[in-house]
Amino acid sequence: MSRYKEIANYLVAAEVEKREVAKVTVDLKPDLSVEEAYLVQQEIVNLKLNEGRRIVGPKMGLTSQAKMKQMGIEEPIYGYVFDYMIIENGGKVPLHELIHPKVEAEVAFVIGEDIEGPGVTGAQVLAKTEYVLPALEIIDSRYENFQFTLPDVIADNASTARVVFGTTLKKPDQFELDLVGATLSINGEIKELGAGAAVLGHPAHSIAMLANMLARKGEKVRKGDVILTGGITSAVQLKYGDIVSGKFDGLGEVTFTVTD
């Protein structure tokens, strides 16, 4: 068994068994590089596809300038959302299925045509986007205390755990998406707020970067992908009983409740 497959099994077991584990870079592979981390992530994708899971679309992470600066990186990271991670709008998120989940508000894009890099721009992304919709992403690092290095988080499928998509689909040309404001409230109290510009200046830039990153390995953004562009707000820790609401200018509201 390859080393990457071994690390992938280690991280998938942590997800399935709902327990936090030591970072990959502590013992398993202290010198894990970003390139190798994406190979581990691909092994996780293969494992899930072999189980009969389906990819809903890629997701972008670390898309705020502050997070990129904090992690010392020039570009964001990506992972994948699978069908079993989707919670219906207004639905329940059982806490016992996760480790130490946090939530953030995002704008998602439904892609209408393949987008193939390199050299993709935000304008090209908008031209090939069918709809935009609001979303709440629940991230859940499999690592102890939610602490990780950049290669660690990439290997861990960018902390992807659950997603609640809103039901309002709008054409992207109806909006200045960089100006769309979002509030993240828990139990009726606003915890975080932000605007689309928090995501690389404009959420479409996030998908352009994704297309260009995927092009390096001969892949592309595909028609039908539903893509999370990155957090408009910071992530907030979830606890039992929380009623969570994301409200987006012109895009409506997304909600869920945290159950036991």
Least trusted range by pLDDT, from 21-25, 68-72, 90-94, 144-148: 68-72
Instruction: For residue 259, count CB atoms less than 10 angstroms from its CB and return exposed for 0-12, middle for 13-18, buried for 19 or more.
Output: middle
* pTM for the structure as a whole: 0.96
Q: Is the pLDDT of residue 65 over 90?
A: no
Pull the structure tokens for residue 144.
């102890």
pLDDT of 71 reads 80
Q: All domains of the chain, ordered by start, with CATH?
A: 3-259 (3.90.850.10)
- Check the CA dihedral 80-84-88-94 and report its sign: negative
Nearest to 195 by CA among 79, 77, 106: 106
Q: Is the pLDDT of residue 14 over 90?
A: yes
pLDDT of 59 reads 98
Q: Who contacts 108 (Cβ-Cβ below 8 Å, separation ≥6)?
A: 132, 133, 134, 135, 165, 226, 227, 228, 229
Helix (H) or strand (E) holding 247: strand 243-248
Q: What is the mean pLDDT of residues 1-19?
A: 95
Q: Who contacts 93 (Cβ-Cβ below 8 Å, separation ≥6)?
A: 87, 101, 138, 162, 164, 238, 256, 257, 258, 259
Q: Are strands 86-87 and 160-165 parallel, antiparallel or unpaired?
A: parallel
Nearest to 6 by CA among 22, 28, 27: 28
Q: Where are the alpha helices (DSSP H) in 33-188?
A: 34-50, 65-71, 122-127, 150-155
Pull the structure tokens for residue 90.
């207004």
- Rg of the chain over all Cα atoms, to the nearest angstrom: 17
The tens digit of pLDDT for each residue in 147-199 reads: 999 999 999 999 999 999 999 999 999 989 999 999 999 999 999 999 999 99
Q: Percentage of residues in the chain with pLDDT exceeding 70?
A: 100
Residue whose tokens read 């039908």: 224
Residue whose tokens read 């986007």: 129
Q: What is the mean pLDDT of residues 33-37?
A: 96
Q: Is the pLDDT of residue 72 over 90?
A: no
pLDDT of 247 reads 98
Q: What is the mean pLDDT of the chain?
A: 96
Compute CA distances 16 → 19, 96, 99, 122, 142, whole Å. 8, 11, 10, 37, 10
Least trusted range by pLDDT, from 2-16, 40-54, 63-77: 63-77
State how far the Cα of 63 lies from the Cα of 207, in Å rounded to an integer. 11
The tens digit of pLDDT for each residue in 118-157 reads: 999 999 999 999 999 999 999 999 999 999 999 999 999 9
Task: Return the biggest CA–CA distance within the chain.
Answer: 50
Q: What is the mean pLDDT of residues 71-88?
A: 94
